[in-house]
Amino acid sequence: MTQPLRLLLVEDSDDDALLVVRELSRNGFAPDHTRVDTSSALRTALDDGTWDIVITDHNMPGFNSEKALAIVREKAADLPVIIVSGSIGEDIAVAAMKDGAHDYIMKDNLARLAPAIERELRDAKTRREHRQAQETIEHMAYHDTLTGLANRFEFEHQLRRALETMPHGHCHALLYVDLDQFKIINDTCGHMAGDELLRQVAMLLKNPIRGADMPARLGGDEFGVLLQDCTLAHAQRIGERMLELIRDFRFTWQDRNFNIGASIGLVMLDRPGLTLADVLRQADMACYAAKDKGRNRIQVYLPDNLELRRLHGEMEWVNRINHALEQDRFVLHHQHIVSLNGATPLNCYEFLVRMHEAESGDLILPSAFIPAAERYGLMPAMDRWVVTHCFAELAACRAAGTALSQDIAFVNLSGATLNDEDFLAYVKGALERTRLPAQSICFEITETAAIANLDNALAFIDGVKSLGCHVALDDFGSGLSSFSYLKSLPADFLKIDGAFIRNMLEDPMDAAIVESINSIGHVAGLKTIAEFVETDAIRSRLVEIGVDYAQGFGIHRPEALPGH
């Protein structure tokens, strides 16, 4: 079978060129060749065509293989070059190989030509594939694989460089873009729809910016845009144009149409002393303020803005939480979970975290600090603190033979912790250190966190269950979009959202929702737990419905652990 060969011949003799072509034709090649004999003709041929190989004579009038090699290296560095000559000496041949020639063949030994070309074509393919692989790896290191935009690592690198130019008279701007309604689409249509939406939004964000500007995906549904050498007025115009494009955009998925919006925080990089952490914190704060004002708007960060100062005050929780972690000022309480309807009696309880105020020693409930911890990425550290101290308490109780040593302890985990690839190993290490039986631990994951991080949730659930731990889906029903996920989430317990339990005696809809969740949970093979059970009447109604377990102030108020 003949092999097509795009051949560029650098040869001043028609007869010698014909000999080369005939030799290749006899050895299985079908050369599609062009002959040139000057440097200008070679340059033109390289610009105008795509070639598999260059074969060049050594000596030509006013031209030689050394010049031909230099031109090929300049124009097409990976293109193989073979010298075919009747007069080349060994010293010249060695020098040519050092300059980039892939082989040299004497014209009286053309039998070597076809094997040499076969080898070079294979090598060229390998080099090309290797280069493409390297380019792919380098691209992935600096770009988001989903959208093709710069990733957070590259964006922060460029942001640092922009901050370094400020003392030299440059002024830049940062737009922090957070999509609104993304989670609804992701939850109702699935992750494939969410991914496609992010790809399309990434294209929208490129539209109003200049070539020197950098759009990036920072994670989830958050994007950043670095505007180089940009005034506040121009940055606002670009931000408004982005909002307009996003507002007018209609996302279609499986014959369903969705409208989306965005909130944008704008920070000017025009003040000396700004650090990367400062800029990102200010952008996040301004974006949060835009959402707080009703979304679909831009909020410019200004240091003297009173509203932003209020938000800054809220963000002070970050420091308080960090200091509480450092000073070990978190404490654990527990709340009993009781059996209903003759379900297997278990001595169950849920661990709950509180914070001691540094100065007064007052107890701070989680509703005050958990939102800040979730927003600013502190939950993985808090979850590790809780696991470490829960396991230590349980181990101490087992050694002392006290009540907490029995049955199952429920431990809450945040959605952010599901994304922590090292957390499963952390749990395994904690179990090994404390020698606790894994079946005495049940990790609680909220419904919304499980769905929002489905792949990671599945991996974590499979991992802890392989250790022997139990898993509960917490606050179930808050989204009412996840019944189908019960087929794939191998949990043991289903905790019915207390918002429905609390009003179920007065609200028939809430009662119907509780019954539905309980029924579907049982069909899925899960034990159900009702939260926020505050009265005997609610408890009696739950017994009638057939809920398995209950917890709440009407059963047991959270209290400090024994001995604390």
**pLDDT (0 to 100) of residue 373:** 85
Residue 178, SS3?
A: strand
Q: Does residue 369 register a pLDDT over 90?
A: no
Q: Does residue 401 register a pLDDT over 80?
A: no
Q: Does residue 130 register a pLDDT over 80?
A: no
Q: Does residue 564 register a pLDDT over 60?
A: no
**pLDDT (0 to 100) of residue 544:** 94
Residue 447's nearest CA partner among 521, 541, 352, 546 is 521
Percent above pLDDT 70 for the chain: 93
3-state helix, strand, coil in the chain (%, to 5): 50, 25, 25
**pLDDT (0 to 100) of residue 28:** 86
Cα distances from 297 to residues 206, 223, 290, in angstroms, run 19, 15, 6
Q: Does residue 405 register a pLDDT over 60?
A: no
Three-point CA angle 512, 518, 521, nearest 5°: 135
Q: Which two tokens stand for residue 374?
A: 């979730």
**Distance, CA of 10 to CA of 88 (rounded, Å):** 15
Superfamily name and number for 152-314: Reverse transcriptase/Diguanylate cyclase domain (3.30.70.270)
Q: Does residue 257 register a pLDDT over 90?
A: no
Chosen CATH of 3-140 out of 3.30.930.10, 3.90.180.10, 3.40.50.2300, 3.40.190.10: 3.40.50.2300
**Distance, CA of 97 to CA of 101 (rounded, Å):** 4
**pLDDT (0 to 100) of residue 409:** 92
Cβ atoms of 395 and 441 closer than 8 Å: no
Specify the CATH class of 317-560 in words: alpha beta
CA atoms within 13 A of residue 418's CA, in its CB half-sphere = 26
**pLDDT (0 to 100) of residue 482:** 56
Range(s) for CATH 3.20.20.450 in the chain?
A: 317-560
- Mean pLDDT of the 532-539 span: 94
**pLDDT (0 to 100) of residue 119:** 87
Range(s) for CATH 3.30.70.270 in the chain?
A: 152-314
Residue identified by tokens 């004002």 is 293
Tens digit of pLDDT for each residue in 439-484?
999 999 987 788 777 888 899 999 999 999 999 998 887 654 557 7
Give the least confident one: 40-54, 246-260, 287-301, 469-483. Answer: 469-483
Tens digit of pLDDT for each residue in 374-390?
877 889 999 999 999 99
CA atoms within 13 A of residue 535's CA, in its CB half-sphere = 8
Buried b (16+ CB within 10 A) or exposed e, 236-255: bebbeebbebbeebebebee
**pLDDT (0 to 100) of residue 467:** 95
**Would you place residue 216 in the very low, low, confident or very high pLDDT band (cuts 50, 70, 90)?**
very high
- Mean pLDDT of the 290-298 span: 83
Q: What is the DSSP string of 277-314?
A: HHHHHHHHHHHHHHHHTTSSSEEE--TT-HHHHHHHHH
Kindly report the average pLDDT of the chain as a whole number: 86
Residue identified by tokens 């990733």 is 151
**pLDDT (0 to 100) of residue 400:** 79
Range(s) for CATH 3.40.50.2300 in the chain?
A: 3-140
**Distance, CA of 404 to CA of 388 (rounded, Å):** 16
